[in-house]
Chain A
Amino acid sequence: MTIAPLCPTPIMQHETVQMAHGAGGRLSQVLMQRVFMPHLSNAFLDLLDDQAKLDLPVGRTAFTTDTYVVSPIFFPGGNIGELAVNGTVNDLAAGGARPIYLSAGFVLEEGFPLADLETIVMSMAAAARKAGVMIVTGDTKVVGRGQCDRIFINTSGVGAIREGVDLSCRNLQPGDSIILSGSAGDHGMAIMTSREGLSFQSRITSDCAALNGMIASILDAVPAVHAMRDPTRGGVAATLNELAVSSAVGIEINETALPVKPDVRGACELLGIDPLHVANEGKLVLAVAAGDAGKVIKVMRSTEEGRDAVIIGSVVNQHPGMVVMQTAFGSRRIVDLPLGEQLPRIC
């Protein structure tokens, strides 16, 4: 009889996330070294301190946070990681800030494949590079099976607000032009058509993109833009309603001017959803004095994110707080906020 002199050492190479990956011990380090650092490495993160020590430019700073729970986590045109970077970049940029630093917090479900995590981290790194921002601090927690849905990501960000720019949803003036940077509803429909087990194929891809480059070009050309918003949840309709209410003005939009891709329109028809209520992740709504609108459109169309930019309507004195659409038939209707969860109709 031979005795094998082998001790049962703990397994250190896992294919999936284990509870111990979030416990701060050795496996946490393995996760850092194997998944996060190779892709996100930078002068701040490499120090492995519990905080990033930042030098912020002189002037006002914008600060924002958002949490991403999208399902499915991989969707046509992007994934949750890319979304988490671009979403926070856009929230900063739409306030007239130059996004600089981001944080990233991860909540991982036990059993989540590390390969998927790495793919997500790689897209975050790529998105951050493209947007010119650095992820300077982060955190990872692991929760038990069934206690979260695969992966949730929080990102916060800071940015330097440009001198001489005053963007606010309270700034709309009667006579302003309302500009939309491109087609409405792409992201939401990409998610809906890949999530809901619909038995049709679509070619709809998310518009997930960072808008800070385009916004910088716009503000370089026309610093006097009145308001900008990225129309995410609730879609263009929710954004226009928020602007109308905050500025106590009316907004009139023209149905025939609204850009909606044929596939998105088709999917919306089928599901009984208004494209104006569907989320976007790479679009911008802005209000600017009518005299400057042409210049803004020209600048936007010279960028990738804004090449389909159009004037969709204008700000009016009438019906304050309300958005009204001129239909293709010459009638008028209210464009309201969507109510709660988007539900498909039944016949």
Chain B
Amino acid sequence: MLIPMKYIDEFRNPQLARNLLGEIRRITTRSWTIMEICGGQTHSIIRNGIDQLLPDTIELVHGPGCPVCVTPLESIERALSIAARKEVIFTSFGDMLRVPGSSRDLFMVRSEGGDVRIVFSPLDALQIARDNPQKEVVFFAVGFETTAPANAMAVWQAAREGIENFSVLVSQVMVPPAMRTILSSPGNRVQGFLAAGHVCAVMGYEEYEPVAREFHVPIVPTGFEPVDLLAGILETVEQLESGRAAVVNRYGRVVSREGNRAAKETIAKVFEVTSRQWRGIGLIPESGLGLREDFVRFDAEKKFNVSHIRASESPLCMSGSVLQGALKPDGCPAFARECTPEHPLGATMVSSEGACAAYYNYHRNFSL
């Protein structure tokens, strides 16, 4: 495949952006708080300065949609324990390597001799397992509904080919239960959502319709480029100003109501809904995915007997409040002081999609 650049430039067109901004300014009469779910959206907003360009009465708060950020500390600790084993090749998406556990990260395990490798796809990890039959190859299966299909496919293929030296450490979470948790929390300020475009590309947006009805919030599947984001914000503000609360798709070139049926079927074949710990937030019932009984032999947690490993967070880190939109990163007393990308206290400062990292990289304490 050659790298496609088409369909990006159109959505970075400054004139289109200015038109949308003008329209948002024209229709906004009151203060509104809107949450973008996905960390990729957060970074695009901060990087392009969209928050600076909006009317002051529209506040964007940043959501929990950063897989690295919400992966619980105990999953990290379990990963570190497995990765340090001599017989293991531990594979992971690159972002997870810098996420600190209680005292170490995967880079440190690697420097101490652990075989830790960055892969771009769980299917690459499966290939490593085929190529190294004498080794145990473990893939760190983190992420939202976006990573679930490929992770499920890797397990499904391993089962089909009988690749028994492959397993996955699963920390797979889902967006709608987190939205419900945020909307139900006592201090909730969120009045509308930009739903995560890529998650909706997989799952569709049907499942958001009950949430929009129940909590009377507009939910707008939105893309990641400046023009996408502004179109999503405009739709949300239009609904808020007119008292509507519907799911309206503003990422039509990628998202359909039903989503990707093949991907959803693959997820359902391999995974089942389970309760999950979210870093900084806590246990959310039925908020994640775990391996079905048929595939339990590919569960690294059981294979390496690490379920007993527990961990507790730095008391200084307030990433839970940040992930729920209750606190802006620069409102945290540790921000850019005890907590920096070089010495992160929490995952929101580590991940390239974490809200704290976005503020640190592009705004910091500097008045632009």
Contact = CB atoms under 8 A, between A and B. Distances in A.
A339 B94 CA distance: 13
Nearest to B94: A343
Interface stretch (B55-63, B139-147, B239-247): B139-147
A327 B48 contact: yes
9 contacts: A196-B118, A269-B5, A328-B14, A333-B48, A334-B361, A346-B68, A346-B93, A346-B143, A346-B147
B121 to A, nearest CB: 8
Interface in B323-342: 341-342
Interface string A173-203: 0000000000000000000000011111111
Interface string A266-299: 1101101000000000000000000000000000
Interface in A50-88: none
9 shortest interchain CB distances as A-B pairs = A331-B49, A266-B3, A343-B94, A346-B93, A332-B368, A333-B362, A347-B146, A200-B1, A331-B52
B40 interface: yes
Given A200-B1, A333-B49, A347-B198, A328 B118 contact: no
B97 interface: yes
Given A333-B47, A334-B366, A343 B97 contact: yes
Contacts of B143: 346-347
B53 A343 contact: no
Which of B5, B147, B198 has its CB near the most chain A CB atoms (within 10 A)?
B5
A322 B364 CA distance: 11
Contacts of A200: 1-3
Interface residues of A, number: 36
A330 B14 contact: yes
Given A346-B93, A347-B198, A334 B363 contact: yes
Interface string A321-337: 01010011111111010
Given A347-B147, A347-B353, 18 more contacts: A197-B119, A197-B120, A202-B3, A319-B366, A327-B48, A329-B48, A329-B49, A329-B53, A330-B49, A331-B52, A333-B49, A339-B342, A343-B95, A344-B94, A344-B95, A345-B93, A345-B94, A347-B143
A332 B146 contact: no
A170 interface: no
Contact of A329 (B50, B342, B352, B360): B50
B17 A329 contact: yes
Nearest to B95: A346
B143 to A, nearest CB: 6
A212 B49 CA distance: 39
Nearest to A201: B2
B53 A345 contact: no
Interface of B: 1-5, 8, 12, 14, 17-18, 40, 46-50, 52-53, 67-68, 93-98, 107, 118-120, 124, 142-144, 146-147, 198, 226, 341-342, 352-353, 360-364, 366, 368
Interface string A194-233: 0011111111000000000000000000000000000000
Contacts of B5: 262, 265-266, 269
Nearest to A345: B352
A333 B361 CA distance: 9
A199 B342 CA distance: 31
A202 B2 contact: yes
Contacts, number: 110
A269 B146 CA distance: 17
A202 B1 CA distance: 8
Contact of B50 (A265, A272, A331): A331
Given A329-B17, A329-B50, A270 B98 contact: no
B40 to A, nearest CB: 7
Given A199-B1, A346-B143, A329 B14 contact: yes
Given A329-B50, A334-B364, A343 B98 contact: yes
Contacts of B341: 339
B97 A347 contact: no
Nearest to B342: A339
A322 B50 contact: no
A336 B359 CA distance: 11
A234 to B, nearest CB: 14
A340 B342 CA distance: 9
Contacts of B2: 200-203
A346 B94 contact: yes
Contacts of A344: 93-95, 118, 120
Interface in A224-269: 262-263, 265-267, 269
B67 A347 contact: yes
Interface string A306-328: 00000000000001001010011
A196 B49 contact: no
B314 to A, nearest CB: 20
B98 A340 contact: yes
Nearest to A272: B352
B169 to A, nearest CB: 14
A292 to B, nearest CB: 30
Contacts of B14: 328-330
Contact of A332 (B4, B52, B93, B107): B52
A263 to B, nearest CB: 6
A336 B361 contact: yes
B12 A328 contact: yes
A253 B311 CA distance: 44
A201 to B, nearest CB: 6
Contacts of A267: 3
B152 to A, nearest CB: 15
A327 B44 CA distance: 12
A197 B97 CA distance: 18
A198 B123 CA distance: 12
A201 B1 CA distance: 6
A327 B49 contact: yes
A227 to B, nearest CB: 23
Interface string A105-129: 0000000000000000000000000
A347 B40 contact: yes
Contacts of A202: 2-3
Nearest to B362: A333
A271 to B, nearest CB: 9
Contacts of B353: 345, 347
A263 B142 CA distance: 29
A269 B225 CA distance: 11
Contacts of A201: 1-2
